[in-house]
Structure 1
Amino acid sequence: MLLQTTDPELAKSLNSELKRQQEGLEMIPSENYVSKYVLEALGSILTNKYSEGFPDQRYYGGNQFIDEIEKLAKERAKKLFGVDHANIQPYSGSPANQAAIFALCNPGDTIMGMHLFYGGHLTHGWKVNFSAKYYRSIQYTTGSDGLLDYDQIETLVKKERPKVLFCGATAYPRLYDYPRLAKIIHEVDGYFIADIAHESGLIAAGVIPSPVGYADIITTTTHKTLRGPRGGMILCNGKPSHPLAPLKKGENPREHLPTLIDRAVFPGLQGGPHNHQTAAIAVTLGEALQPSFKIYAEQILKNAKSLADALIDKGFELVTNGTDNHLMLINTTKKGLTGKEAELALDKAGITVNKNTIPFDERSPYDPSGIRLGTPALTTRGMKEKEMEQIAIWISEVFDHSNDEKVLAHIREQVKATTDQFPIYKEIEY
């Protein structure tokens, strides 16, 4: 039975969103298309069950099959990333970061992360976020070239001696020097947290460097390049966890990070995990363990490089002059538009991006100087370098004719003709 027979009002919105995803170019780098198998798990009867605690240590009865599913997800995560321990219960990336900080810090301790306007994330110490409300936050930035200034970070760390150093961003198109960051923070006896939410699929596939072996704790979402449901994971090495019992006197916290993490997630922050989400994460990790996933990740990088090069050829100014990963930032003001204006014009042409601040931006984050775009969702559809070159042409035409509704409508028709060749979710209707 279709949802439209019982709730036509909701079904109308769902079908409209389905049509938008099918017919447009989804270029927000944090978005992707999950498989039908992930959708099946998300819509399963597992949403009915409560399961506070951890496998074999639950506060509710009837969890023997839930335990099987969570154990499967954990083992797949450990195998995929090459770590000793995985907690797959965080509801998303922000709760995962909150739990990681909670596991290591007391209120008032100093944490350090990348400034939001330079590409960082809210939970890495931005002033309005919990991470700056309950902890002392120090922010680092990039150099004038948009690249991380590791000398600046080292100087700040030596001066401020943070308990935690965050690495990771929402809008940084280059790779990280994990060994150097680890050395910098460990010299002041601090902890290194690598937030790989954006790059986790690329790291899992082995197409870009991994922080495993350098970071004390790794946090990630399960969507974005990993191509799974909304969710979070915390990864680390260390001795087997005893999540419902605190560390014993004399035990070294660095050797028992799994215990600290698990206790921070539950009972520290959350109650019962979302079991339908856990199952969907298990599906996602199983897909990422297949050889085809590496081919997919490699194509993400090829597409990003092709798109970046084509945009530069069209006269666009890209932050750091290119990309090493799945995303890129365009300084839209160099083409006469604000980030908000560019986002709205591209949307009319069937191309979805998001407005974004760029390093040293003097404009408001509500109408900044840039846009952020990426290739994960396009690559999931099967698009390759040829399509990236055409997309760059369309983006350039949108900038040249941002106020011409006829031109934008014509580009939208061309976009739909292309997406029709790379269909998604043909079997879905609400």
Structure 2
Amino acid sequence: MPVTHTLEGPPSVDVLGRQDPELAEILLAELTRQTTTLQLIAAENFTSPAVLAALGSPLANKYAEGYPGARHHGGCELVDVAERIAVQRATALFGAEHANVQSHSGSSAVLAAYAALLRPGDTVLAMGLPHGGHLTHGSPANFSGRWFDFVGYGVDPESGLIDHEQVRALARTHRPKAIVCGSISYPRHIDYAAFREVADEVGAYLIADAAHPIGLVAGGAAPSPVPYADVVCATTHKVLRGPRGGMLLCGSGLADRVDRAVFPFTQGGAQMHTVAAKAVAFGEAATPAFTAYAHQVVANARVLAQCLAAEGLAVVTGGTDTHLLTVDPAPLGVDGRTARGRLAAAGMVLDTCALPRPDVRGLRLGTAAVTTQGMGEAEMARVAVLFGTALRDESAGRHVREEVRDLTGRFPPYPG
């Protein structure tokens, strides 16, 4: 049975409508887009009305450079309390000694982790971009690739699983200052203990980029990187279902270095409305309802993977342990980009991603948002059929779009 997360209604746009009808119309149109199409992007979700309320609160007015009790601006007594609550909830939720909740994004959190532990020119071992690494894992278009010497490890081209022997061999050869474990498209649990063992062998820091699985960690549906990594970087949206933002978790011995890397080294004043919204999300994630939700997300993803395979798509690694899966639509006669276009026309929104073969792009999709809407295994089976229909027959897009509209109409994320 699906675990329904009932949301009580969208934020009011009445005031905005009176002041700026042009922007209000865009907000309403976006709400319509989100609620009448299937949101299958693995990095997206629907936040609760409480999170949205914090984001739209007067806390947005407050400048608060620094940390609670040591701000560079006056009038921070109340936002200090809000940030302390966010930190306390984060450390309790993830079993960490220290949490920094000020990072503006997951990329900002990774930048701060590098700033805390590394110096320009240091060698870093991370998953290569063609195998699912993030831009912050060494892309030449990103600060990481310009400031540090990245060496990329990959996955086995047959199994799609991380090649831990390659990780160990590369670490022994290059003696990196840090090893990064984490991916934007790896559907299996990360073996944090194996990475810790290699890091200890070569004297490297271990940085876990847990932007994708951290919400599952909060709900007890994925292993935690906290006992193994020196620093954990994460986002507060995705499965965690909070506001768009980042955070860092670490031991007390690195707390000061991490905090100084966030402020003042890499960013200025905290966005206190977002910090408060993170506190709300951490509180929601500590409930039994969220635990049930996280496990339902995984159950939905596994059923979706099985049913997509039955439709003829090639599922990378043969399935998933998490909220996301990657598939190759080539057996149906289309490439990743063409497939994404057909699916978008049919009302199914998702991403392309690199596959563990040279110059081949597949599809990355996830079940976090549709599970928030209350969909379960039966709906995932139906989504897979619609998926296959749209890819096999381009002319079926309009018919599939009508079925998608009917499905989403039965599971509104913001009823009322």
TM-score scaled to structure 2, two decimals? 0.95
Q: Is the 8 A contact 2:312 2:331 kept in 1?
A: no
Partner of 1:409: 398
Partner of 2:139: 126
SS, match of residue 420 in structure 1? helix
Q: Is the 8 A contact 2:172 2:202 kept in 1?
A: yes
SS, match of residue 187 in structure 1? helix
Q: Is the 8 A contact 1:112 1:125 kept in 2?
A: no
Task: Select 2:220's aligned residue among 182, 206, 216.
Answer: 206
Question: Which amino acid counterpart does residue 258 of structure 2 have in structure 1?
Answer: I
Structure 1 residues 378-411: Cα deviation after superposition (integer angstroms, max 9, x where no partner): 1000000000000000000001112x1xx21111
Q: Is the 8 A contact 1:355 1:372 kept in 2?
A: yes
Query: Identity of aligned pairs, percent?
Result: 45
- 2:86 is the counterpart of 1:94: no
Question: Which amino acid counterpart does residue 389 of structure 1 have in structure 2?
Answer: A
Task: Select 1:69's aligned residue among 82, 104, 121.
Answer: 82
Partner of 1:108: 121
Partner of 1:176: 190
Question: Which amino acid counterpart does residue 91 of structure 1 have in structure 2?
Answer: H
Question: Which amino acid counterpart does residue 397 of structure 2 have in structure 1?
Answer: L
Measure, in 1, the Cα distance between the counterparts of 2:161 and 2:142. 25
Instruction: Report how far residue 167 of structure 1 moved.
Output: 0.4
- 2:219 is the counterpart of 1:227: no
Structure 1 residues 196-253: Cα deviation after superposition (integer angstroms, max 9, x where no partner): 1100110111111111211111010000010010010000112xxxxxxxxxxxxxxx
- 2:374 is the counterpart of 1:382: yes
Q: Is the 8 A contact 2:313 2:330 kept in 1?
A: no
Partner of 2:162: 148
Q: Which one scores higher on RCO, CA 8 angstroms, separation ≥ 6? A: 2
Partner of 1:84: 97
Partner of 2:37: 24
Measure, in 2, the Cα distance between the counterparts of 1:236 and 1:154. 24
Task: Select 2:251's aligned residue among 237, 243, 260.
Answer: 237
Q: Is the 8 A contact 2:109 2:234 kept in 1?
A: yes
TM-score scaled to structure 1, two decimals? 0.92
Segment drifting more, 389-398 vs 122-131: 122-131
Q: Is the 8 A contact 2:43 2:239 kept in 1?
A: yes
Measure, in 1, the Cα distance between the counterparts of 2:166 and 2:53. 47
Q: How many residues align?
A: 402
Structure 1 residues 2-52: Cα deviation after superposition (integer angstroms, max 9, x where no partner): 422222221222111100111111000100000000000000001111001
Q: CA RMSD in A?
A: 1.0
Q: Provide runs of 4+ in structure 1 moved above 6 Å.
A: none
Measure, in 2, the Cα distance between the counterparts of 1:222 and 1:357. 24
Measure, in 2, the Cα distance between the counterparts of 1:205 and 1:371. 26
Partner of 2:4: none
- 2:68 is the counterpart of 1:55: yes
Instruction: Report how far residue 271 of structure 1 moved.
Output: 0.9
Structure 1 residues 93-127: Cα deviation after superposition (integer angstroms, max 9, x where no partner): 00000000010011111111111121111101122
- 2:171 is the counterpart of 1:157: yes
Task: Select 1:193's aligned residue among 180, 203, 207.
Answer: 207
Q: Is the 8 A contact 1:142 1:359 kept in 2?
A: yes
Residues 358-397 of structure 1: pairs in structure 2 closer than 5 A = 358-363=355-360, 369-397=361-389
